[in-house]
């Protein structure tokens, strides 16, 4: 498929500040195909402001100046009180309005996301998730959480969440379309004014979703100019500017645990609330009575977006009685996955910086893990090649919980298409389950844990005694969101010292209590 774009069809992603499009869009955004077919030309064109009329240029984005960054914060600060005073019924109606506009423009957005390098299947999953998380039904549930009132004799008692003020959103470069939008929408539902930094990767599709979908939805509910502002810029200077600016109240930070925990300390020093969405090292437990096919399907989600999703499962913990069968089922699924161009409608794999991850795989094998399949670089056509942009979906088998605890590849987030299948030693089932749950609870990361079993007693014990993680799932796909349950948050190094399952519209607000008396009922 020809991925070239006519000049007149090229998009621009300008900054949006105080209700106006500002800045000159002059940095080129390149087709993802170019990086696979002609990486030398891609490198030559990247970062230039006068690239000529190359057919792989999808469009242009503006890069915000320090003055633009400050102006965006000023606009949010000016709009914050008016938007905070808007009735909650109006604010939470924003979700449904957004979803209806998204449905109308979905095809155009998916085309743009795939052109920028997001596999079509992953793009559809992200947009389906947005529609579920912010649909009318979910927003009715959310609204019930922010305002609760009841009578106590002749008094009225009130518990109400009030917005913190100005929320700054720092999305990740691997999934900014979804993360920037969820962060902005949650902040707006809470009553905050919002500033979003758009990463250079997926700049056009992220700006499109914010400017062409969210902004019109906000206009429909009467949001004031400045309630939402966004711009493209490098992360470091923007984060420092937000930390130093007294008009910024909260910063939603996506990134690695190592950097995020350091950033939390910086926020504390500057009097900011840090809302952290950090690394994960999720585990799927497969009990001996689990249905093999759906359990293996859930484990194969480890390879979606080449594992570059924080909620992708990194580890399987499999009952020894069914380990061989599960390993073979996962091997078949992994081996069937092929790289490809993001718009082919089939692939779920994306390019990864393979050499570092291959070194991790080699170290795991040297440390006692067995390589079941994968472990090589490949080209977009699926041919093994030492310089290939892709890493084959890789399955490792690790026998013994102690062995797994000693390997970095099972202890840490991998962020690549590698799944470690950990098989404990044989014991009676009661002791074995205790050991498996202890292994889960020892995980320093804590996004999600899943279980596959046909025994409700095993499921209840899992729910009662697994304390690690923001979400537990039983006999469910691992990656999917489940509205209206919380979509964000994590324990341990995944969420920082205040980590838990969280609704971001509550996390970026504060609880206020009130008592009212002296009026007739």
* Active-site residue list: 277
Omega before residue 484 within 30° of 0, cis: yes
Instruction: Count Cβ atoms below 10 Å from residue 139 Cβ, excluding itself.
Output: 25
How many whole angstroms separate alpha carbon 476 and alpha carbon 329?
17
In total, the chain counts a number of residues equal to 521
Task: Decide the pairing of beta strands 250-254 and 166-170.
Answer: parallel
- Centroid of chain to Cα 99: 19
Burial of 261 (0-12, 13-18, 19+ CB in 10 A): middle
Instruction: Count Cβ atoms below 10 Å from residue 111 Cβ, excluding itself.
Output: 14
How many whole angstroms separate alpha carbon 339 and alpha carbon 254?
27
CB-CB contact of 172 with 179 (8 Å):
yes
Burial of 38 (0-12, 13-18, 19+ CB in 10 A): middle
SS3 43: helix
CB-CB contact of 169 with 143 (8 Å):
no
DSSP state of 171: -
How many whole angstroms separate alpha carbon 136 and alpha carbon 369?
48
DSSP structure string for 296-328: HHHHHGGGGGGG-STTSEEEEEE-GGGHHHHHH
Q: Pick from 32, 20, 9, 116: which is nearest to 71 by CA?
A: 20
The 370-373 sheet, strands edge to edge: 370-373, 394-399, 418-423, 313-318, 282-286, 448-452, 471-474
How many whole angstroms separate alpha carbon 49 and alpha carbon 25?
9
Phi then psi for 517, rounded to 5 degrees?
Answer: -145, 170
- Centroid of chain to Cα 47: 26
Burial of 236 (0-12, 13-18, 19+ CB in 10 A): exposed
How many whole angstroms separate alpha carbon 319 and alpha carbon 47?
51
Tokens of 160: 């109400």
Q: Where are the beta strands (DSSP E) in 438-506?
A: 448-452, 471-474, 488-489, 501-502
Q: Where are the beta strands (DSSP E) in 37-177?
A: 57-61, 147-152, 155-163, 166-170
């Amino acid at each position: 498929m020809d991925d070239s774009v006519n000049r007149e069809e090229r998009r621009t992603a300008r900054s949006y500040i105080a209700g106006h499009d500002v800045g000159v869009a002059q940095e080129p955004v390149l087709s993802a195909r170019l990086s696979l077919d002609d990486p030398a030309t891609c490198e030559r064109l990247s970062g230039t402001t006068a690239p000529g009329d190359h057919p792989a240029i999808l469009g242009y984005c503006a890069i915000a100046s320090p003055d633009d960054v400050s102006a965006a914060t000023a606009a949010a600060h000016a709009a914050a009180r008016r938007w905070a005073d808007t009735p909650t019924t109006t604010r939470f109606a924003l979700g449904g309005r957004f979803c209806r506009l998204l449905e109308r423009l979905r095809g155009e957005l998916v085309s743009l996301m795939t052109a920028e390098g997001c596999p079509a299947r992953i793009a559809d999953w992200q947009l389906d998730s947005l529609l579920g998380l912010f649909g009318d039904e979910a927003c009715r549930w959310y609204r019930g959480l922010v305002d609760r009132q009841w009578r106590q004799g002749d008094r009225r008692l009130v518990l109400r969440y009030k917005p913190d003020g100005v929320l700054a959103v720092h999305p990740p470069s691997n999934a900014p379309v979804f993360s920037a939008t969820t962060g902005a929408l949650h902040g707006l539902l809470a009553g905050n004014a919002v500033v979003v930094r758009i990463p250079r990767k997926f700049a056009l599709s992220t700006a499109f979703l914010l400017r062409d979908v969210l902004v019109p939805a906000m206009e429909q509910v009467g949001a004031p100019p400045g309630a939402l502002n966004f711009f493209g810029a490098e992360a470091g200077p923007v984060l420092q500017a937000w930390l130093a600016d007294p008009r910024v109240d909260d910063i939603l930070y996506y990134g690695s645990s190592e950097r995020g925990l350091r950033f939390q300390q910086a926020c504390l020093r500057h009097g900011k609330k840090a809302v952290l969405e950090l690394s994960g090292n999720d585990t799927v437990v497969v009990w001996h009575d689990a249905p093999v096919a759906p359990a293996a399907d859930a484990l194969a989600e480890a390879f979606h977006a080449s594992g570059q999703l924080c909620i992708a499962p990194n580890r399987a913990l499999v009952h020894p009685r069914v380990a061989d069968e599960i390993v073979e089922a996962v091997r078949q699924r992994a081996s069937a996955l092929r790289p490809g161009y993001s718009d082919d409608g089939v692939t779920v794999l994306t390019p990864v910086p393979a050499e570092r991850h291959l070194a991790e795989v080699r170290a795991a094998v040297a440390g006692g893990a067995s390589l079941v399949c994968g472990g090589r670089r490949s080209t977009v056509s699926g041919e093994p090649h030492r310089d290939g942009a892709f890493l084959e979906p890789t399955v490792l088998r690790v026998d013994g919980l102690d062995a797994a605890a000693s390997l970095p590849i099972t202890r840490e987030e991998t962020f690549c298409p590698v799944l470690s299948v950990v098989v404990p030693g044989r014991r009676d089932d009661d002791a074995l389950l205790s050991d498996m749950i202890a292994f889960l609870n020892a995980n320093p990361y804590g996004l999600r844990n899943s279980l596959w079993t046909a025994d409700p007693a095993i499921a209840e014990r899992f729910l009662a005694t697994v304390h690690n993680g923001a979400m537990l799932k039983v006999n469910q796909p691992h990656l999917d969101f489940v509205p209206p349950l919380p979509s964000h948050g994590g324990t341990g190094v995944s969420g920082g010292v205040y980590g838990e399952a969280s609704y971001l519209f509550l996390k970026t607000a504060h609880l206020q209590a009130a008592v009212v008396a002296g009026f007739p009922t």
